[in-house]
């Protein structure tokens, strides 16, 4: 059985935000090279969820694990994404799939927040928001 991990974020009108999801996928591929890793955006950008699901199948996946790359269990991660994935999956009855919980509360996420805030580890370059 070939497993795929489909990482889904909201999607953005900003290309840099959408491209960041591919960077996340690259890190996941480095950590687990035996798993197929694909990305998709819920809306606003391509690849959309149907594109990502199809890419997993075309890469040989027989099991697709869908992860909403979101922090909290809001409407998108608990309703919209699972419904959209179920709709896609209906086109591939031979493929098993499941949707995970979003990131939620985890010690490692808290450590990243502290690192970004400059409280522990290296202090990343804090960027000012610009209203372009």
The series of mean pLDDT values per 10 residues for the chain, 132 residues long, is 96 96 98 98 98 98 98 96 98 98 95 92 58 52
**Would you say residue 115 lies in a domain?**
no
25 assigned to some structural domain:
yes
Q: Assess if residue 126 is contained within a domain.
A: no
DSSP state of 38: E
The pLDDT score that the predictor gives to residue 126 is 54
Taking alpha carbons only, the member of 63, 69, 52 closest to residue 12 is 69
The pTM (predicted TM-score) of the whole model is 0.88
Tokens of 54: 């199809």
Task: With respect to residue 129, please indicate whether it lies within any of the assigned structural domains.
Answer: no
Residue 91: which CATH number? 3.40.50.1400
Say what the pLDDT of residue 81 is: 98
Q: How many domains does the chain have?
A: 1
What CA–CA distances, in Å, run from 45 to 11, 29, 111, 116? Answer: 6, 22, 30, 27
Q: What is the domain range of residue 71?
A: 3-104
């Amino acid at each position: 059985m070939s497993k795929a991990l489909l990482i889904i974020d909201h999607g953005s009108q900003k290309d840099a935000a959408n491209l960041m999801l591919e960077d996340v996928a690259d890190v996941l591929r480095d950590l687990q090279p035996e798993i197929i890793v694909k990305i998709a955006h819920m809306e606003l950008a391509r690849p959309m969820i149907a594109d990502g699901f199809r890419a997993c199948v075309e890469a040989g996946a027989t099991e697709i694990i869908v992860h909403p790359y979101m922090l909290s269990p809001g409407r998108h991660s608990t309703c919209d994404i699972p419904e959209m994935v179920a709709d896609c999956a209906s086109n591939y009855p031979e493929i098993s799939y499941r949707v995970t919980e979003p990131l939620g509360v985890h010690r490692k996420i808290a450590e990243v927040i502290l690192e970004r805030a400059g409280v522990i580890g290296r202090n990343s370059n804090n960027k000012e928001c610009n209203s372009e």
